[in-house]
Structure 1
Amino acid sequence: MSRDVVRARPDTPFKELVRLLEENDVTAVPVLDELDRPMGVVSEADLLRKSADQADPTGRTPIPHLEAWERAKAEGSRAEELMSAPAVCARPEWTVVEAARLMEAQNVKRLPVVDEADRLLGIVSRGDLLRVFLRRDDAIREEITGDVLRRTLGLDPRDVTAEVRDGRVALAGTVEHRTLIPVIEQLCRGVDGVVSVTAQISFRTDDARDTPTGTL
């Protein structure tokens, strides 16, 4: 997330909001209450409703039909009247996947990040989430082999190897139990920067069926 967040207050006037967006090269700002808790977000789209609601001096385009809530925003002059509310927020401990899913479900482009008291800590955008896929292959491989396979799962590095190319992870090796294989795959998919995971992993014991040897 970005910690240096441009912010507005409920009484920030329309022109000041436009200036904040322009001078800071951002497309939206969170609106905070007196305790620095996000109340909503004002975006360029929110502000553009005022322009869209104006009569066209050339007479070539009609004034668009607006719902009551859209009309109220178009007529607003302060942040609390213009913002989209309530604010859709994330927690600092969330994974990239959790944040991306919430953005998709709520159809928003950014999420204020708040602490346990709902105070603003930062903001994460779509660009921030995509930036994780620029992570170097060797850093991804090191996390998978060191953190996932060795420390989390207790596997010998010689049992399962991981090759990473352009974020695509290829796992190979042999483990004791068949049921461990989907666990390995799932944990590897959760590593930042991983695009896909394929596994060619054999098992010695089919603990799901209690039959020996095989390949998943």
Structure 2
Amino acid sequence: MRTIVQDVMTTDVAAVNQNASFHTVAELLINRGVSGVPVLDDDNRVLGVVSEADLLAKQEFKERYYGDGYTPPLRARIRHTVGSEGSGFYKALGETAGALMTSPAHTTNPDVAVVLAARQMDKHGVKRLPVVDAEGRLVGIVSRRDLIKVFLRADIDIEHQVREALQAVPGEVTDLGVTVADAVVTLTGKFDKHSHAIAAVRMTERIDSVVAAHDELTWKHDDIVKLPVAWGGA
């Protein structure tokens, strides 16, 4: 039911050694058509990430050393100081990937659920996460685009996945119907209990490939306890 990072990550990773030159990094970003790459030590362990923003810091900040009085906008200064890109002032002095990179890198593991990887990207404001093994060695990379792939699964595959998941719902169901259109699932049928119907919908919604679940289920017995409404008086 849960899609993990290993299912969607890219294993052909563009990466550089910490001693790689500015020119080497720039050339790799352009040739591979990526906006950032992991930076590795000699044992293939991830030390950080170097991005286009890290390289542009050199061009953006270098003019202040020539006395033209350039000062980046406040928003840019805040981003460079406390944001995910690190300090642009010091990156402008960098000559190697190790000096240019943002470190430590935010990483994930192959067996992590994609939803957790997505939350980590959102939390740290990054577009990609290097994927590392138990020793911290690079095994892949996962991007926002990779995470979106889970919603591109064929409708027939989603239907099979939903039907398999619903086998874990307790009780009996008659005339269970599962239809999928563009990853939107519609459930029909009659359960013995209202609570079992609710469980079926919730279980369907939890499947990573499902965009939404439409509940058209019915039930024989309403076992949902409704608390009495407390009316206040003057």
**TM range, smaller chain:** 0.7 to 0.9
Q: Give the C-alpha shift of residue 206 in structure 1.
A: 4.2
Q: Tell me the distance in 1 between the aligned counterparts of 2:174 and 2:222.
A: 21
Match of residue 175, structure 1, among 191, 200, 203: 191
2:118 match: 100
Moved more, 170-179 or 77-86: 170-179
2:200 match: secondary structure:
helix
1:202 and 2:218 correspond: yes
Percent identity between matched residues is 36
2:128 match: 110
Q: How does 1:24-39 map to 2 (within 5 A)?
A: 24-39=32-47
Q: Is the 8 A contact 1:30 1:39 kept in 2?
A: yes
1:179 match: secondary structure:
helix
The answer to which structure, 1 or 2, has the higher relative contact order (CA under 8 A, 6+ apart) is: 2
1:149 match: 166
Q: Tell me the distance in 1 between the aligned counterparts of 2:26 and 2:169.
A: 52
Q: TM-score, normalised by structure 1?
A: 0.83
Deviations 1:45-84 (A, max 9, x none): 111111111329xx99935375673211111111111111
Contiguous gaps of at least 5 residues in structure 1: 211-216
Deviations 1:12-70 (A, max 9, x none): 111110111112221111012233221111111111111111329xx999353756732
1:122 match: 140
Contiguous gaps of at least 5 residues in structure 2: 1-8, 82-86, 227-234
Q: Is the 8 A contact 1:55 1:63 kept in 2?
A: no
Q: Is the 8 A contact 1:137 1:164 kept in 2?
A: yes
Aligned length: 206
Match of residue 18, structure 2, among 10, 21, 26: 10
Q: TM-score, normalised by structure 2?
A: 0.77
Q: Tell me the distance in 2 between the aligned counterparts of 1:206 and 1:157.
A: 14
